[in-house]
Amino acid sequence: MSQKVLLDVDPGCDDAVMLAMALAAPDIDVVGLTTVAGNTTVDNTTRNALAILELLDAADVPVARGAGQPIVGELDTAEEIHGPNGIRGDLPDPSTEPVDQHAVDFTIDRARELGDDLTILAVGPMTNLATALVKEPDLPSLVDDIYLMGGSASGIGNKTATAEANFHNDAVAAKRVVRSARPRMVGLDATNRATVPLDDLDELLSSPPPLDAFGAWLDYPEEVRQFGEGSDPAVHDAAVVAHVLDDVLAFEPAHLDVEVGEGPFHGAVACDRRDEVGKEPNAEVAVDIDVEGFRALVDRTIERLRG
């Protein structure tokens, strides 16, 4: 039986790689996408999501537009990393429109409909998910698992010295989610090692669609590759789907909280894995990744896209 997944995304190049992996895998059933502002505006992330689905012959997957601003603070986009309008590569014009339902309500309805057959993967700012938890506090008990791509248990960030970009962009939402959702947090501690060698990049970029776009999604600027290992880019969001496919991540229980103040630790994660504060774990934290297993799944996706 295929694992049913709902993907909360802000495409974004690593989101696009993740979507390609999920859609190409026969044992994953993508029941919908919800979009959020993050890597770029929600107008762009919604259009990018529709265009990626069009490119990958999956335009029947419903897309629900979500939050355009963080709960508190100003949106801080990343077009300098992901490209104009939030994504690189040639994408077709979408032939479909978003569904006539907000992402929050779409998420709650899918959770009530599918129950513990559903896994939620949130890989952008946590605004939609936090709002869904306000409207439906039982959401975590309705579904199988809730995964987050965000945070840094080590306290070493990529947006600031201490904060990962998704948690930094909406720290209030991230705080609500780690406190209420009992999530599996896949942060930089694992995803900085979710790297893809670029040996075949030129071949991908010169291939017919959709492989040329897939290559463009991996072709991060040189200054961004420092967050991976060596010169290979880290494809953070893709690590989450890779684990759903093949258990490539190792998790440990921890008690988490998120700093929401406006100082230098805004969006930083306080992670207690040693029971220093005397509170029960409220999450599982990814502490390691099978790099070769992850890369094998990326290679398998490329072969499936090659046809």
Residues in Cβ contact with 307 at an 8 Å cutoff, skipping those fewer than 6 apart = none
Residues labelled as active-site residues? 236
Buried (b) or exposed (e) across 78-110, using 16+ Cβ within 10 A? beebbbebbbbbebeebeeebbebbbbbbbbeb
Q: Which residue has the tokens 């690593």?
A: 14
Residue 125: count other Cβ atoms within 10 Å of its Cβ: 32
Residue 295: count other Cβ atoms within 10 Å of its Cβ: 18
What is the length of the chain? 307
CB 250 within 8 A of CB 286: yes
- The H or E element spanning position 119 is strand 118-122
Cis peptide, bond prior to residue 124, ω within 30 of zero: no
Q: Where are the beta strands (DSSP E) in 36-93?
A: 63-65
- The H or E element spanning position 240 is helix 238-246
Q: Rounded to an integer, what distance in angstroms lies between the CA atom of residue 39 and that of residue 14?
A: 10
What order do you get walking across the sheet with 118-122 strand by strand? 63-65, 28-35, 3-9, 118-122, 145-149, 184-186, 283-289, 249-258, 269-272
Backbone angles phi, psi at 272, to 5 degrees: -105, 100
Residues in Cβ contact with 260 at an 8 Å cutoff, skipping those fewer than 6 apart = 72, 171, 172, 175, 266, 267
